[in-house]
A and B are shown apart, each in its own frame.
Chain A
């Protein structure tokens, strides 16, 4: 059957199991949008306010569902507007396929109207990218893009399609999706046996779980592993929810804003077992002093993560779920009660604290956790509110926290919440946003309204760029250069303008009632949570400092 390239693009997406595309039309993708129109009963298109919102939405959809997220944009500015979202997905190993139109091949390379070499632009921020120059290669290329995005360590893939390719015709032969099988070829019995020996020899083992555990969906295997090794468990921001944050063995997040218990545990242990974590600088801080008393055993799917930032003593390479599945039966039941108690004692002595006399974001996070029965999908922007959400919401399952970990993109949250809300209708979706982040992409409120998405947009409003200001307070002599937002925006009027219900929290006593009202609303809600401007995220490791020397900040 002869079909146009545009028709092949849309049929290929359907063939790959895509039910939703987030995007924005334009000149170079008109043909593809025409095909989307014809297939609107089979594939949904969510029109965002800005292409960046579409890329964040596709990323949020992927994180919330575990499937490949898809975004689409036209050439030139449409394509460049996707760039932050593509980099964001790639940094956090999120499977994303971005499809861009480009000018026809005949005028490609001639600085034509709305022409950008988007494949060149995105080369360093994608796992792979393609320019399709023959209509006959379209179906295979799209199938390849989906396979590359999801296989092994997931990532972002861009497919750039010149307009004349979308308009040309050829015989369409559907290319079925290639099954994604867990990567096991590097898992050897030898490596596993050596890991078991190291674990058995340890007196003070400590476990660190990261985003790789979530991607592998290995929470059950991890729980069994932890039980057998009997060790305290720290997580990274990306690893939130891979281990029950209410388990007695859980010692909290580690790193820059980690708990004293986790950071001290990592510094005192004699074996650090790192599962699906890439030793980001926000985790290790000073690499020279990180876990300096311990051996390090690393499980990761990507061999390039071994000895990249931190030298490790031994590693097992492969799918985390498969590694743990094979390792668990090889392990005896161990008992490290004195060590576990040592870490628990630190936790008891240095719990995460905040000022309970006044309204704080930390308190609201705790109440939100309780009122949602720890079951909401929590999306965040980037900054203080993100850390407060990570510290005080009680995460229970993987993919529960949807946050920009590696790239740290302000403005990520609202777009990602749209993706999460479209992908997971069974969960409450709350986007926790600082007022600074909210302003970056608040245009997406139009999308939220347009599709009536039941998102709670919780604006943690301190009228400053809180995290940057915190650094200015601590390290820049309180010189508050350009972090002041006190221009009295009326967020309630803004909510009204978008036709969204607006609620406000100004007193501690209001918190439960307002959150409950928001949670009971069937549709979008904006909550303006007004807090003081001087609250700081505590504890904190000074940049470049050792995680052993964490500061407790007064609020």
Chain B
């Protein structure tokens, strides 16, 4: 079992996200993360789905998703040279004594400090899951008050382009 990331390009119709996600659930596949957004072409949206499975499972769900009428193209990012990013917002307990060390951690991870209050610090970090997970782990002892992850998205390296833009 390993992490699979599919980029699914869909026609931007009402209910299209439900079509894709309900297909995952009714075929028994668990979605780990999901991001959706418009592409350059406003008529096309890109859904990035992360799930855990094996090759066979991935090829089956890919073929099932491809059958949906509103699906234009589907790319298995794990089969490509892709880079992945997600955004994490984290609010940590930090009083004047611990604030400096929290900010130091932020600097090491190249996270941005976006708010400081008397007892808390809010930071944002962009990176792949291993980086964001490590960041969260190291902050845990300070007391995480709130943690928000946008979910993973990814892009293929090089000049290859997908989804509504001519190659």
Which of B15, B59, B63, B68 contacts A119 (CB under 8 A)?
A: B15
Question: How far apart sit A307 and B70, CA to CA, in the bound complex (Å)?
Answer: 24
Question: How far apart sit A356 and B66, CA to CA, in the bound complex (Å)?
Answer: 53
Are A123 and B59 in contact, CB atoms less than 8 angstroms apart?
Answer: no
Are B14 and A131 in contact, CB atoms less than 8 angstroms apart?
Answer: yes
A353 proximal to B (CB < 8 A): no
- 12 A-B residue pairs with Cβ-Cβ distance under 8 Å, sorted by A, are A119-B15, A123-B18, A123-B19, A124-B22, A127-B67, A131-B14, A131-B15, A148-B69, A302-B67, A304-B66, A306-B63, A308-B60
Q: Which residues of the other chain, A, contact B67 by a CB distance below 8 angstroms? A: 127, 302, 304
Contact flags A219-263 to B (C-beta < 8 A → 1, else 0):
000000000000000000000000000000000000000000000
In addition to A128-B68, A306-B63, 11 A-B residue pairs with Cβ atoms within 8 Å of each other are A119-B15, A120-B15, A123-B15, A123-B18, A124-B26, A128-B69, A128-B70, A131-B14, A302-B67, A304-B60, A307-B59
Are A307 and B56 in contact, CB atoms less than 8 angstroms apart?
Answer: yes
Residue of A nearest to B63 (CB): A304
* Interface of chain B, main secondary structure: helix
A351 proximal to B (CB < 8 A): no
Question: How far apart sit A162 and B63, CA to CA, in the bound complex (Å)?
Answer: 33
B64 proximal to A (CB < 8 A): yes
A-B contacts, CB under 8 A, total: 31
Tally of B interface residues using CB under 8 Å: 17
Q: Which residues of the other chain, B, contact A131 by a CB distance below 8 angstroms? A: 14-15
Min distance, Cβ A254 to any Cβ of chain B, angstroms: 24
Tally of A interface residues using CB under 8 Å: 14
Residue of B nearest to A311 (CB): B56
Residue of A nearest to B13 (CB): A130
Min distance, Cβ A174 to any Cβ of chain B, angstroms: 22
Scan residues 118-149 of chain A and give those whose CB is less than 8 A from a CB of chain B: 119-120, 123-124, 127-128, 131, 148
Are A123 and B22 in contact, CB atoms less than 8 angstroms apart?
Answer: yes
Question: How far apart sit A307 and B55, CA to CA, in the bound complex (Å)?
Answer: 11
A17 proximal to B (CB < 8 A): no
Q: Which residues of the other chain, B, contact A119 by a CB distance below 8 angstroms? A: 15
Q: Which residues of the other chain, A, contact B60 by a CB distance below 8 angstroms? A: 304, 307-308
Question: How far apart sit A307 and B67, CA to CA, in the bound complex (Å)?
Answer: 16
- Chain A residues packing against B (C-beta within 8 Å): 119-120, 123-124, 127-128, 131, 148, 302-304, 306-308
Q: Which residues of the other chain, A, contact B15 by a CB distance below 8 angstroms? A: 119-120, 123, 131
Q: Which residues of the other chain, A, contact B63 by a CB distance below 8 angstroms? A: 303-304, 306
Scan residues 15-73 of chain B and give those whose CB is less than 8 A from a CB of chain A: 15, 18-19, 22-23, 26, 56, 59-60, 63-64, 66-70
Report, nearest first, the 4 A-B pairs whose CB atoms are least far apart.
A304-B63, A128-B69, A304-B64, A303-B63
Q: Which residues of the other chain, B, contact A128 by a CB distance below 8 angstroms? A: 68-70
Scan residues 57-103 of chain B and give those whose CB is less than 8 A from a CB of chain A: 59-60, 63-64, 66-70
Min distance, Cβ B21 to any Cβ of chain A, angstroms: 11
Question: How far apart sit A124 and B22, CA to CA, in the bound complex (Å)?
Answer: 7
**Given A304-B64, A308-B60, A120-B69 contact (CB < 8 Å):** no
Min distance, Cβ B164 to any Cβ of chain A, angstroms: 20
Residue of B nearest to A152 (CB): B67
Min distance, Cβ A294 to any Cβ of chain B, angstroms: 20
Considering residues B19, B60, B69, which has the most beta carbons from chain A within 10 angstroms of its beta carbon?
Answer: B69
Min distance, Cβ A542 to any Cβ of chain B, angstroms: 25
Q: Which residues of the other chain, B, contact A308 by a CB distance below 8 angstroms? A: 60
Q: Which residues of the other chain, B, contact A120 by a CB distance below 8 angstroms? A: 15, 18
Residue of B nearest to A305 (CB): B63
Q: Which residues of the other chain, B, contact A306 by a CB distance below 8 angstroms? A: 63
Min distance, Cβ B114 to any Cβ of chain A, angstroms: 37
Min distance, Cβ B12 to any Cβ of chain A, angstroms: 14
Q: Which residues of the other chain, A, contact B23 by a CB distance below 8 angstroms? A: 124
Question: How far apart sit A123 and B25, CA to CA, in the bound complex (Å)?
Answer: 13
Question: How far apart sit A307 and B14, CA to CA, in the bound complex (Å)?
Answer: 32
Are B69 and A127 in contact, CB atoms less than 8 angstroms apart?
Answer: yes
Q: Which residues of the other chain, B, contact A127 by a CB distance below 8 angstroms? A: 67, 69
Q: Which residues of the other chain, A, contact B26 by a CB distance below 8 angstroms? A: 124
Question: How far apart sit A304 and B62, CA to CA, in the bound complex (Å)?
Answer: 8
Question: How far apart sit A336 and B110, CA to CA, in the bound complex (Å)?
Answer: 72
Q: Which residues of the other chain, A, contact B68 by a CB distance below 8 angstroms? A: 128
Residue of B nearest to A125 (CB): B26
Q: Which residues of the other chain, B, contact A124 by a CB distance below 8 angstroms? A: 22-23, 26
Considering residues A302, A306, A308, which has the most beta carbons from chain B within 10 angstroms of its beta carbon?
Answer: A308
Min distance, Cβ B41 to any Cβ of chain A, angstroms: 20
Residue of A nearest to B61 (CB): A304
Question: How far apart sit A304 and B27, CA to CA, in the bound complex (Å)?
Answer: 12
Residue of B nearest to A130 (CB): B13
Question: How far apart sit A206 and B63, CA to CA, in the bound complex (Å)?
Answer: 28
Min distance, Cβ A455 to any Cβ of chain B, angstroms: 36
Q: Which residues of the other chain, A, contact B64 by a CB distance below 8 angstroms? A: 304
Question: How far apart sit A119 and B15, CA to CA, in the bound complex (Å)?
Answer: 9
Residue of B nearest to A133 (CB): B14
Min distance, Cβ A333 to any Cβ of chain B, angstroms: 36
Question: How far apart sit A127 and B22, CA to CA, in the bound complex (Å)?
Answer: 13
Q: Which residues of the other chain, B, contact A123 by a CB distance below 8 angstroms? A: 15, 18-19, 22
Residue of A nearest to B25 (CB): A124
Considering residues B23, B59, B67, B70, which has the most beta carbons from chain A within 10 angstroms of its beta carbon?
Answer: B67
Residue of A nearest to B59 (CB): A307
Question: How far apart sit A124 and B69, CA to CA, in the bound complex (Å)?
Answer: 13
Question: How far apart sit A307 and B58, CA to CA, in the bound complex (Å)?
Answer: 11
Min distance, Cβ B53 to any Cβ of chain A, angstroms: 14
Min distance, Cβ A154 to any Cβ of chain B, angstroms: 13
Min distance, Cβ A546 to any Cβ of chain B, angstroms: 23
Q: Which residues of the other chain, B, contact A307 by a CB distance below 8 angstroms? A: 56, 59-60
Residue of A nearest to B60 (CB): A308
Min distance, Cβ B63 to any Cβ of chain A, angstroms: 4
Question: How far apart sit A308 and B57, CA to CA, in the bound complex (Å)?
Answer: 9
Min distance, Cβ B59 to any Cβ of chain A, angstroms: 7
Question: How far apart sit A383 and B135, CA to CA, in the bound complex (Å)?
Answer: 60
